[in-house]
Amino acid sequence: MSDSLTVKIPAVPSFAPAEYTLTSVKGVRAAGVRAGIKASGNPDVALLVADAPLAAAGIFTQNHFAAAPVVISKAHLLRSHGLVRAVVVNSGNANACTGTQGEADARAMCEQVAALVGYPVEQVLVCSTGVIGVKLPMDKVRAGIDLAFKELSSDVEAGRRFLSAIMTTDAFAKEACAKVGDALVTGVCKGAGMIEPTMATMLAFMVTDLDVRAEQMKRALTSIAASSFNAVHVDTHTSTNDTLLLLSTRAVKSAHDWARHVEPVARRLSWLIARDGEGATKVTTIQVTGAATDEAARAIARRVASSALVRTALYGNDPNWGRFTSQVGNAPEVRHAKDLSCVLQGIEVFRNGEPTAFDRAAASRAMASEDVKLELVLKDGPGHAVVLTSDLGYRYVQVNAEYTT
Amino acid sequence: MSDSLTVKIPAVPSFAPAEYTLTSVKGVRAAGVRAGIKASGNPDVALLVADAPLAAAGIFTQNHFAAAPVVISKAHLLRSHGLVRAVVVNSGNANACTGTQGEADARAMCEQVAALVGYPVEQVLVCSTGVIGVKLPMDKVRAGIDLAFKELSSDVEAGRRFLSAIMTTDAFAKEACAKVGDALVTGVCKGAGMIEPTMATMLAFMVTDLDVRAEQMKRALTSIAASSFNAVHVDTHTSTNDTLLLLSTRAVKSAHDWARHVEPVARRLSWLIARDGEGATKVTTIQVTGAATDEAARAIARRVASSALVRTALYGNDPNWGRFTSQVGNAPEVRHAKDLSCVLQGIEVFRNGEPTAFDRAAASRAMASEDVKLELVLKDGPGHAVVLTSDLGYRYVQVNAEYTT
């Protein structure tokens, strides 16, 4: 006997645009155009060009199947010692699992931009996102790049067009900014889990005018990413194309603690990615403290964040301490599980290995929020970590299960 | 704007009862009674008693929050050197996260049975399954044990009552058997993922009359479990109470390769558990070959099996090679990802790091089966492993997300 079920699909959230975007940083121009790579006709080629050289650092996917543009951009960044003149992006096709032709195509995109701007090819970076395993339609890409170059502008609207041309399955545009004295930190990103046959890559571009050298950026970016983009768990998959770039015109003198102004922007962007988990209704911040080491804390937090049972409980506003704590109990990194306490939205639901007599209905109401915090407290040592996860509801299944030709 | 969605809920499968059950083995009596532990009034106390001592071996949960009955049964098995006279089980309450009172209660259950059968307490094992964090209602448990003892019988029906009294959220009864010359291998089990607030423990009881010593059993059971119960991935959670017991009357002389007759029964039972994943429509056997080591193969297979994206693709009959291979690409255990090939239901969809030109519609049709096979072939070494996983559909979300008081 087969039965049917009617379920509510959550509304798509909307967020006000940020006050500043990439082109708000002086000396940075951008464009986003329709090149016909996407069947939908939506914008799919984005270009960012700087009047003066940008200091740059990047973090790239560690997936064994790193896509051609990742291979090329990493090599260019190395050869140019972190000096960048332009970034070209296409959406609708990830240029991943495309063999040697894929690398030639990614290189050709950089060469075309290099010729247009008049700088060496290693000063151009390239990113792609979209379907994998399909060769790039290079005629369309080439025409798109020419068009984007003509439309480069320093308007705020041009920055927004850049953003719209990097999006794929995103339900909403993602941008964030901070004003730090005379300096700006701006960022845009795309990403929302992975939809067949697209592996919906995370791409993030942050542009600032803080005066930071490329080597300094490189060191700081790892720790910035650890508390932001690398703390997002929407799925266990990292894509073939994930790329985070931090770029600076270096026009405004900055203090030694410049990174603490960049980190909140990165965090906001990564929160938006988690919020856009397919069919997500909330972002849950899982904080582990008291683990033996930070590494142990991260492993425990990730184990909790990756559980489909935990994520469905979050979707259902179910204060299900058993699911949260049993995942901690499953973690080999835990030393003294009996000391575990668990605080959900400020309510202690589990103390020293046993449940408390908390008010389940009140806890459930507290979970009905766009922002949920789950604190897992151990007494193993000083290790702590934070991971963001999206919840898992009917819409996730709908988006991910339906077979489409 | 919130929208609604009507989805089809898969039918609950049904399977014919096995030809033989626990009580088909000569000298074994069983019972299953209603003690009122479950609010539903369903059977919840099960008892198995042997006329002569049984050789026994067990495998227990490795969760840090191992429940009281696990602690007690492990200790008894150690003290009795694998000699068992009786096994008592209650469902409806897992006696987990219940502190020192929980251990006293588990011990009291064994003591009561020991007094009834007239053997030392360490020859009695105890298992519990059901809600966690709630103390056992010992008055009901005691009365249930007394009643079960009176109703002990060697009928086939008594074996079936034992089985029904260990079930919790199971959608169907799970049993399997094999006849090996004059000997029997029988087994029953329960388990189907985890439902709030129950952590739906896996309990499996196998009874045979093959003449095997306890020490031999102990050694073999680890490898039997590796290819059966420990190969099931329904969720990333292992419960506080998971227990597998192998018991033998030792009445029928057996060959040195006796374990190969036990393994298929264990495999069938574990397949049934995967089939009963909440809302599952199929069992997918994920086979990794050519990994550097067996351990690497197991880690890779588990990574693929645990992905919500992979499991939704399986639900949707979506031959989504990108999801399968990207999880392999994420595995640090992989050495040469570019050599990866992927065969889905006999159809090669990915070869040496690139997708093949396979017929997607045909592959999708081939996936519309209760039994799906996904082969991931590497060229790193001789390592291989098999993991079973259930798919993830709307019913999973429904069962796991709804908050119930």
List pLDDT tens digits, range A320-359: 898 899 889 888 999 999 899 999 999 999 999 889 999 9
- Average pLDDT over chain B reads 91
Name the segment(s) of chain A with CATH classification 3.10.20.340.
Answer: 283-401
Burial level of A273, CB count in 10 A (0-12/13-18/19+)? buried
Residue A2's pLDDT is: 56
Phi (first) and psi of residue A84, to 5 degrees: -130, 140
For residue B28, give both structure tokens.
């074994």
Phi and psi at A80, nearest 5°, equal -90, 0
> What tens digit of pLDDT does each residue of B31-76 get?
999 999 999 999 999 999 999 999 999 999 888 889 999 999 999 9
Q: Which of B129, B201, B240, B389 is catalytic?
A: B201
Provide the pairing of β-strand B383-390 with A45-60. Answer: unpaired
What is the Cα–Cα distance from A49 to A47, expressed in whole angstroms? 7
- Give the tens place of pLDDT for each residue, B81-126: 999 999 999 999 999 989 899 999 999 999 999 999 999 999 999 9
Report percent pLDDT > 70 for chain B: 95
CB contact under 8 A, B199 and A322: yes
3-state SS class at A329: helix
Token reading at A338: 């009996």
Dump the DSSP string for B124-175: EEEEEEEESSS---HHHHHHHHHHHHHT-B-SHHHHHHHHHHH-SS-SS-EE
Task: Measure the CA–CA gap between B74 and B59, rounded to whole angstroms.
Answer: 9
Residue-level pLDDT at A234: 58
Shortest distance, CA B185 to any CA of chain A (angstroms): 31
Q: Per the CB < 8 Å rule, is A316 touching B360?
A: no
For B223-252, how does the pLDDT look when each residue is reduced to its tens digit (9 = 90+)? Answer: 999 888 888 875 556 678 899 999 999 999
| 8 Å CB contact between B148 and B48 | no
Q: Looking at the predicted structure, is the pLDDT value of residue B308 above 90?
A: no
> Does the pLDDT at position B194 exceed 70?
no
Question: How far is it, in rounded angstroms, from Cα A315 to Cα B395?
Answer: 14
Token pair in block for residue B345:
């239901």
Cis peptide before A355 (omega within 30 of 0): no
| Crossing angle of the two packed helices B294-305 and B321-330, in degrees rounded to 10 | 130
Phi (first) and psi of residue B396, to 5 degrees: -60, -45
A219: Cβ contacts below 8 Å, ≥ 6 apart: none
- Those of residues 243-302 in B touching chain A at CB distance below 8 A are none
In chain A, ranges of CATH 3.60.70.12 domains: 22-275
Of A8, A353, A396, the CB nearest to B97: A353
Task: Give me the pLDDT at residue B196, please.
Answer: 37
What is the pTM (predicted TM-score) of this model? 0.81
- How confident is the model at residue A405, as a pLDDT? 34
Give yes or no for B117 touching A (CB within 8 A).
no
Distance from CA of A266 to the nearest CA of B (A): 23
Beta bridge partners of A207: A186, A247
Task: Outline where B257-293 has alpha helix (H).
Answer: 259-275
Tell me the average pLDDT across B136-144.
98
Alpha carbons B208 and B185: distance in angstroms, whole number: 4
Structure tokens at B255: 């060959």
Q: For chain A, how big is the Rg over CA atoms in Å? A: 22
Contact state of A401 with B354 under an 8 Å Cβ cutoff: no
Residues 319..338 of A with a Cβ closer than 8 Å to B: which?
Answer: 320-323, 325-331, 334, 337-338
Interface contacts (A, B; CB < 8 Å): 246
**DSSP label at A197?**
T
Mapping DSSP to helix (H, G, I), strand (E, B) and coil, where does residue A370 land? coil
Read off the pLDDT of residues A208-229 as tens digits, 9 standing for 90 and up: 999 999 999 999 999 999 888 8
Q: Does domain A22-275 have CATH number 3.60.70.12?
A: yes
Q: Where are the beta strands (DSSP E) in A61-136?
A: 83-93, 124-131
Task: Fill in the DSSP letter of residue B61.
Answer: -
The chain B residue lying nearest A237, using CA atoms, is B327
Phi-psi bin for A345: left (phi > 0), alpha (psi -120 to 50), beta?
Answer: left
Residue to mutate among A8, A64, A365, A367, with most B CBs inside 10 A, is A64
Residue type for position B310: V
CA gap A247, B4 in Å, rounded: 43
Q: What is the mean pLDDT of residues B328-350?
A: 94
Q: B13 at the A interface (CB within 8 A)?
A: no
The pLDDT, as a whole number, for residue A197 is 36
- What average pLDDT does this structure show over B313-318? 92
A112 sits in which H/E element: helix A99-117
Q: What's the distance, Cα to Cα, between the start and end of chain B in Å?
A: 29
Q: Does domain B283-401 have CATH number 3.10.20.340?
A: yes
ipTM above 0.85, yes or no: no
Spatial contact of A190 and A174, defined as CB atoms under 8 Å apart: yes
**Annotated active-site positions of A, please?**
201
Other C-beta atoms within 10 Å of A283: how many? 25
Query: Token pair of A173, please?
Result: 């545009």
Residues of B in contact with A7 (CB under 8 A): 4-7, 394, 397-398
Interface residue A13 vs chain B (CB under 8 A): no
